[in-house]
Chain A
């Protein structure tokens, strides 16, 4: 391994940056104008699992959550109002010129769920290195099972992004039955990696299991509320 550029997992080199820069003006406009209807129609109570969970997190942040309804991104935006959260959006949403323009200008990252491109992964890593907050639903899509109160198995993509970027992970759980959104404590990736035994794809799987365990804790917390 080229020690000058990587230290185990986390990429330290900046690499090429081919992404076209888009200002956050339209993102902020949509967020501000959408706040009132979101405030009226989406009344989820925000809960914190501890005093530490109430902290406002600055810098690179990977937000993860269960995904059971199509309004989950709005719930997350409202719960983390202090951050500009960047979402992943399926390529179907970029089909027309107008929708593509809209989703690009609200800073959504286009993803082909059936055939994830390397460019998509690098786009996420780049945003995290810029100090942004990126949201990923590790279940891989809306949970459409008959019993959507059960968490689906997590895909490893979120772990890959976290371990490659070194960004902290903020677990969030949305309980649509109880209309609550639970914010957990930030998970420090560097602490996870500091155990020298963790490397390769096993570390990614182990971290996915850790994220799943944290989400399950938040789920129990919401159910006991």
Chain B
């Protein structure tokens, strides 16, 4: 997957989790997952598990503090996708 495809999928997953219907237009790669996107620790874990299910990328060795921005998650997926 290209970086843009990963970003779009991530926005889709986060949008579904937060039940947002605006296609997450205000979210960019620089957005902070906690302050800008509004995820707490459980929200982040939920998102990560959803990514695993959808993109088959394993997040076994990471913790929720390892990701600060949307870009951090995309970088991780890029490094670990098969």
Contact = CB atoms under 8 A, between A and B. Distances in A.
Given A1-B54, A121-B45, A160-B42, A115 B64 contact: yes
A115 B53 contact: no
Contact of A2 (B40, B43, B53, B61): B53
Q: Is the interface of B mostly helix, strand, loop or mixed?
A: helix
B58 interface: yes
Interface residues of B, number: 23
Interface residues of A, number: 29
Given A121-B49, A201-B18, A202-B19, A156 B63 contact: no
B54 to A, nearest CB: 6
A164 B63 contact: no
Given A160-B46, A204-B42, A11 B53 contact: yes
A16 interface: yes
B64 to A, nearest CB: 6
B43 to A, nearest CB: 5
B18 A200 contact: yes
- Residue of B16, B17, B45, B61 ringed by the most chain A CB atoms within 10 A: B45
Interface of A: 1-2, 5-6, 11, 13, 15-16, 18, 112, 114-119, 121-122, 155-157, 159-160, 164, 199-202, 204
Given A122-B49, A159-B42, 6 more contacts: A2-B53, A2-B54, A18-B60, A117-B63, A164-B46, A201-B19
